[in-house]
Amino acid sequence: MNLRLETGKMIIKIPSDIRRMREVSLKILGSLKSYDLDNDRMFDIRLAVEEAVRNAIIHGNESDKAKSVTITYWIEDDKINVVVEDEGKGFDPLGLPDPTANDNIMKNSGRGVYLVKKLMDEVEFNAIGNKLKMTKKLK
The dihedral over CA atoms of 39, 60, 94, 46, expressed in degrees to the nearest 10, equals 0
Segment holding 74, helix H or strand E: strand 68-76
Q: Would you say residue 13 has pLDDT above 90?
A: yes
| DSSP 8-state assignment for residue 37 | -
Q: What does the pLDDT look like over 30-70, one tens digit per residue?
A: 999 999 999 999 999 999 999 999 999 999 999 999 999 99
Confidence at 23, pLDDT banded by 50, 70, 90: very high
**pLDDT score at 102:** 63
Q: Are 122 and 134 in contact (CB under 8 A)?
A: yes
Show Cβ contacts of residue 130 under 8 Å, excluding neighbours closer than 6 positions.
56, 60, 85, 86, 87, 88, 89, 90, 91
**2-137 has which CATH code?**
3.30.565.10
> Whole-prediction pTM value?
0.88
Residue 116, class by beta-carbon neighbours within 10 Å (0-12 exposed, 13-18 middle, 19+ buried)?
buried
User: What's the confidence (pLDDT) of residue 35?
Assistant: 92
Domain-wise residue ranges, the chain: 2-137
d(CA 114, CA 134): 13
- With a CB cutoff of 8 Å and minimum separation 6, the contacts of 105 are 99
In order of 10, 53, 130, 134, 137, the CA distances from 75 in angstroms are: 10, 19, 22, 12, 10
Average of per-residue pLDDT across 85-100 = 78
